[in-house]
Chain A
Amino acid sequence: MSINRRNFFFQAGGGFASLALHDLISRAQAAVTTPLSAKNPHFAAKAKRCVFLFMNGAPSHVDTFDPKPELTKFDGTPYKGPLTVGSNSRPVGYLMKSPFPFRQHGQSGLPISSLFPHTSAFADDLCVIRGMHTDTAAHASGCLQMNTGNVILGKPSLGSWLSYGLGTENESLPSFVVMTDPRGGPISGASNWTAGYMPAAYQGTLFRSQGAPLLDLTTPPGASEQTQRRSLDLLEKLNREHSATRPGDSELEARIQSYELAYRMQTTAADTVDLSKETAKTLEMYGIHNPLTADFGRKCLITRRLLEKGVRFIQLYSGGGHIEDTWDGHNDCITNHKLHAGETDQPIAALMTDLKRTGLWNDTLLIWGGEFGRTPTSEGVGKPGRDHNWHGFSMWLAGGGVKGGQAIGATDEIGFEAVEDRVHVSDLHATVLHLMGLDHTRLTYFYQGMNQRITGVRGEVVKKALA
């Protein structure tokens, strides 16, 4: 029986992907196929790689990409509408104007607040989706939904789906890279980049921007580089001798090769974080000289380097830990957003500049946003914090296949609820997959009696976002 890889990856109904995968490895005869071998998309892809700039903690849309003059008009008056926030149905307080003036930018005149002076230069490239909404107002389930399409724990994340569907172009680096904030990871930690019920090969790999980027990447203490090489050589000899008396078992061969890949990964991954060959100008552009932007700047620069080497999906977290260490501006949204926007604006703009310079821009998809938005109200008089808002928020897409210079959809006049061209998180996922050349209804994984999809039974591609 010949194996048609595309068949079993994309049409798992009636087949059994998890078993088939095992079979694939054990049955491949000549060439060793790994779970991460590159695969063709369903149709011509607009983007080959994807970067998710995850603004952890939930940025306020009315302070960033969704201007609301009505808020200024009614600033300080109590909110009288029917909407609630949070899982405890907290009262929503008083309408609060944005302290950040909006200005129209670029030829498109896309309004962006003063929080993003650098990103504003790319207004004509951004496609702001103002009609976003999600199913939960809790960070844990909100992050899970944004990353895995479901508020329930344990579903594979977007990066896992992409790795599963497309494989990677460079097996000496992980296919799905995650870089967290120095203040901590997102709530629910690794559940946000889990492969869930899929093989572990598809899960996100934590990548550090300083020191050794991957866990256990460096040669252990006590072993020199020569020892490392000699040890690997001895291992291969012993393994080859073992295989010689067990011909035909390609699983053994796959494992032998994984050690060579790991050895290459030691060099490749370490090279990626070695910024010594970057020019002073580049480092400055990313803000690496400035303590405020240094960390996210490094990550953005490393992102460009990872993209150059063919990494499929990179997720960068801005904000980590809890409350004000993230975009979760409950107490003082103004100070909070100044900090987190200040840390990320210049690095993101530098990444966009660099992607355009290197030509990667055309087939790299950028996603910016958090797990939900924030209320147009304050949490009390004279207390400039904003609460969670799952009824409406903004995200933006840019890069390969995206129609920039536009804002799609709208929230109501005060920015509380998405009312026009509503885009559910599952619609966003469908759109991202579409741009990556995958049909979200065909990218399935057979598990527990069903062809599972990241979009479940939902998901519509946001056509207006496509170039």
Chain B
Amino acid sequence: MLRYTVNTMLVLLAFTVALTPLGAAVDFTSQIRPLLERHCYSCHGPKLAMHGLRLDFRSHAMKGGESGVPAVIAAKRTQSLLYRYIAGLEKNLRMPPAGPALPASDVELIGKWIDEGASWPESESAALEEDPKFRRGRTHWSFQPLRRASVPEVKNRAWVRNPIDAFVLAKLEQKRWQPAPSATPQQLLRRAYFDLTGLPPTLLQQQTQASLDQVVDQLLASPSYAERWARHWLDVVRYAESNGYERDGHKPQAWKYRDYVIRSFHQDKPFDRFLTEQLAGDELDEPTPETLIATGYFRLGPWDDEPADPDTDRYDQLDDILATTSQAFLGLTLACARCHNHKFEPLAAKDYYSMIAVFDGLERPRKGRTELDRPIGTRAEIEREKARDARITPLAEEIAKLKKPFQTKEKNWESKIPADVQRQVAALEAQIAALRKETPDLPRGYFLEEPSATMKPVHVLVRGKPGAHGPEVAPAVPAILVKQQPQFLPPAHTSRRRLSLAQWLASRDNPLTARVIVNRVWMWHFGEGLVRTPSDFGLMGQRPTHPELLDWLAAWFMDNGWSLKKLHKLILSSNTWRMSKRVNAEYQKEDPENRLLWRVPVKRLEAEAIRDSILAISGRLNPTMYGPSVFPPVQPQALEGSSDPDKIWKASPEEDASRRSVYVFVKRSLILPMMEVLDLCDTARSAAQRLTTSVPTQALTLFNGDFVNQQARYLAARLLQEAGSDERQQMELAYRLAFARLPHESELREMRAFLERERAQLPGENASLHALQQLARVLFNTNELVYVD
């Protein structure tokens, strides 16, 4: 209700009005509309209409919002709610609710406009320009259904091994360009190994009689494929095993999620199923241990156990989930719509909070600052364990009660409990043991829980501030992507909102999911995606270099059961993938970014592949799969930046530490220095792509660091053992292990001279070993090792 009490503020304002010189009448279009636009429309415009109020139409403004009180009453400024709110006449709320108040001169201008009759031309109301972002969004390429372009005709049909080639060649032929010639068989073999497994081919594998297509099949079936490609996915889902911040607490059992991802790639789990398990594995009709562990996805982000503001922190955690999910599966930067409508994308704050409503039921099991893990099992098994614990609790309490009177500060106080009490305690303990035997402990896993099927209402938060409630929202997907919102399932054991989201993401109608994952897979093979902003398919993202090919691949992928292995196979069978990486100077000049795909781009191996390859070449790679993570040694100097240098990193035994890098513990406050310096992705957020830099500190690590020098020693010993004392054979073996080829005569000459001088440096029985070790170190540092042809 309006209060008509005249307060001092009003008197002051009235006084100001009296002093305002009479001037020309206020013009709505040039003077008032811009003010409303600047200060009001983000909440009271077409996108949000908070509290039912819109100030972009005369009729709405005159009618008012949910309160039914007109926002503007002509000629009555002090009765017009709009004026009262902006002038600070309402005790409880000033508009805008956050940020600075309107300058007094603007408040006065609006007041004067109302005084003069609040003239508001009809044309202004009707023809309100829609936000151009939303207009563009409706025709934006990635929000449109997949277009099934027919495979284009090309002149050079002989080059076309599969439709990928036709799409690529058609573009090149438009420019009268030729695709790069095929790489050599040796190069292709090595390329296939690195692409699919992140490891060089072994000697035996180099002697294969199989065709490249057969080799690709073998590699896709190998565990090494799953280990490499799981790591790609871990980038996207911000995988790490600690929480960051002050205590950087370790996430118990988080490695089980990593193993889940490896297993999923190994068994070629259809991608629609893979995403459903991660987003809603607990909401399926029959959750399994596997699908529960999959939902660890939600819990991988950083977590501040001592947040500055708990309310904000709750939304920060939801934001981590929303940001990751929208980028990973939709290629959208929805997280930017948290405080206001997205500045560059057709995504409204309402879209953001509608997605928050999908995740809001999730809770973090914890006891104060300590995180708790959760039982893994079927619903019935979990219920049984709960019931057992409910029976154990009173028994345990009884034991505590019996013991309490005898408790002292002595260490062995329990041994001094009288015998009869001890007997009673023992009897109770036996009961507990029996219960535990009857219903053994379930294994534990690391994931969030949705403890209830009923959800609290979720509101848009004005300027992202918790407590500043705007309109309530229902769970929904971003409006720009659908003509009609998908059906959200009714609640069951949980709200099933995540399951509903997953089903929509995995539906064939969704324009983005298949495009986004197909593009990622392309990028992980070629270094660059067809869309070069792999987690941003919005207006600000780059447009695809080959839109028809992308759509064709996305449709093909869904037609083939969302099978990643089939997609790899398709890509690796193309002549496009088999092109050489050589530069064509003329094309380079005209198309330096290789947007037409006239060659396969050059990209340095990732940190993991470099480390794993060195281990493989030295012969020390431990192929053990799965299980808790390992801690390769870190020099004490590298721990000096930590607030707990003595405790932060306990190195594993060497054999464990020599496992593949995907099994190395990812600690947010201490990334293994070698991985960090070689451009490991940011672990705090979803990472779209590995960046590659060449800086001297990398050279220091790879040339002087303990790891490489140790592995060089192993390789030297291996060369001596396997190639004997013949120098040429030693060098040839080294080259075949490292580069899958024999050295050229010129290379042999250089190496021979080097070995000779090094042997002279350290004469004696270890001369050969020393010299070979130095040579091995050099080979580990070559460009040929890290830039695969």
Contacts and interface: CB of A to CB of B under 8 A. Distances in A.
Interface of A: 1, 14, 16, 18-19, 21-23, 25-27, 34-36, 87, 135-141, 144, 151-154, 171-172, 174, 178, 180, 184-191, 193, 196-197, 199-201, 203, 205-206, 208, 211-212, 214-224, 226-227, 230-232, 234-235, 237-239, 241-243, 246-249, 251-252, 254-259, 261-262, 264-266, 320-322, 446, 448-450, 457
A189 B670 contact: yes
Nearest to B710: A220
A248 B582 CA distance: 8
Nearest to B585: A248
A185 B542 CA distance: 41
A220 B704 CA distance: 5
Interface string B327-355: 10000110110010011110000000000
B582 to A, nearest CB: 6
A312 B245 CA distance: 27
Nearest to A185: B641
Interface stretch (B125-133, B482-490, B683-691): B683-691
B640 interface: yes
Given A171-B696, A189-B670, A262-B699, A231 B644 contact: no
B700 interface: yes
A223 B761 CA distance: 10
B676 A200 contact: yes
Interface stretch (B134-142, B529-537, B544-552): B529-537
A262 B533 contact: no
B535 A321 contact: no
Interface string B289-319: 0000000000000101011110000001000
A212 B784 CA distance: 30
Nearest to A448: B333
B637 interface: yes
Given A136-B308, A239-B782, 15 more contacts: A141-B306, A141-B308, A184-B640, A184-B644, A188-B248, A189-B643, A215-B637, A216-B704, A216-B705, A223-B709, A227-B761, A230-B758, A247-B583, A255-B787, A262-B699
B268 interface: no
Contacts of B343: 450
Interface in B712-768: 744, 746-747, 750-751, 754, 757-758, 761
A216 B708 CA distance: 11
Nearest to A193: B641
Interface of B: 244-248, 302, 304, 306-309, 316, 323, 327, 332-333, 335-336, 339, 342-345, 532-533, 535-536, 538, 540, 542, 581-583, 585, 588, 592-593, 601-602, 604, 635, 637-638, 640-645, 648, 668-671, 673, 676-680, 682-685, 689, 691-701, 703-706, 709, 744, 746-747, 750-751, 754, 757-758, 761, 770, 773-775, 777-779, 781-784, 786-787
Nearest to B779: A238
Return the 7 tightest CB-CB contacts between A and B, nearest first: A449-B333, A154-B684, A248-B583, A140-B246, A136-B308, A262-B699, A185-B641
B758 A208 contact: no
B639 to A, nearest CB: 8
A148 to B, nearest CB: 11
B640 A208 contact: yes
A357 to B, nearest CB: 31
Contact of A258 (B332, B344, B695, B744): B695
A255 B785 CA distance: 12
Contact of A34 (B339, B694, B781): B694
Given A153-B684, A227-B774, A219 B704 contact: yes
Given A16-B533, A138-B306, A251-B694, A186 B643 contact: yes
Given A184-B640, A449-B333, A255 B694 contact: yes
Contacts of A215: 635, 637-638, 673, 697, 700-701, 705
A84 to B, nearest CB: 12
Most buried by B among A144, A216, A252: A216
B370 to A, nearest CB: 16
A23 B593 CA distance: 7
A219 to B, nearest CB: 6
A255 B245 CA distance: 34
Contact of B668 (A191, A197, A247, A248): A191
Contacts of B747: 238, 241
B533 A19 contact: yes
A16 B593 CA distance: 13
B245 A449 contact: no
B691 A189 contact: no
Contacts of A186: 641, 643
B704 A242 contact: no
A448 B706 CA distance: 36
Contact of A234 (B536, B538, B680, B778): B778
A141 B246 CA distance: 8
B669 A189 contact: yes
A348 to B, nearest CB: 21
Nearest to A136: B308
B640 A206 contact: yes
16 contacts: A16-B532, A23-B592, A87-B306, A139-B246, A180-B640, A208-B637, A215-B673, A216-B706, A226-B761, A234-B750, A242-B783, A249-B583, A251-B692, A259-B781, A262-B699, A448-B536
B301 to A, nearest CB: 9
B532 A206 contact: no
Nearest to B588: A248
Given A196-B684, A230-B758, A235-B782, A258 B308 contact: no
Given A180-B641, A197-B682, A450-B336, A261 B583 contact: no
Contacts of A18: 689, 691
Given A14-B540, A448-B336, A189 B641 contact: yes
B700 A217 contact: yes
Contact of B774 (A140, A223, A238): A223
Given A23-B593, A153-B245, A184-B640, A205 B697 contact: yes
B693 A35 contact: yes
Nearest to B709: A220
B479 to A, nearest CB: 17
Nearest to A223: B774
A218 to B, nearest CB: 6
A282 to B, nearest CB: 26
B703 A259 contact: yes
Given A27-B592, A249-B583, A201 B695 contact: yes
B777 A231 contact: yes
Contact of B645 (A139, A185, A230): A185
B31 to A, nearest CB: 27
Contacts of B592: 1, 23, 26-27
B182 to A, nearest CB: 16
Contacts of A239: 782-784
Contact of B671 (A16, A135, A190, A222): A190
B751 A154 contact: no
Nearest to B339: A457
A246 B704 CA distance: 27
A180 B636 CA distance: 13
Contacts of B706: 216, 220
A242 to B, nearest CB: 5
A138 B694 contact: no
Contacts of B775: 234
A196 B342 CA distance: 22
B761 A242 contact: no
A201 to B, nearest CB: 4
B716 to A, nearest CB: 11
A1 B593 CA distance: 9
A28 to B, nearest CB: 10
Contact of A262 (B335, B602, B684, B697): B697
A221 B677 CA distance: 22
A223 B775 CA distance: 11
Contacts of A136: 308-309
Contacts of B588: 248
Contacts of B746: 241
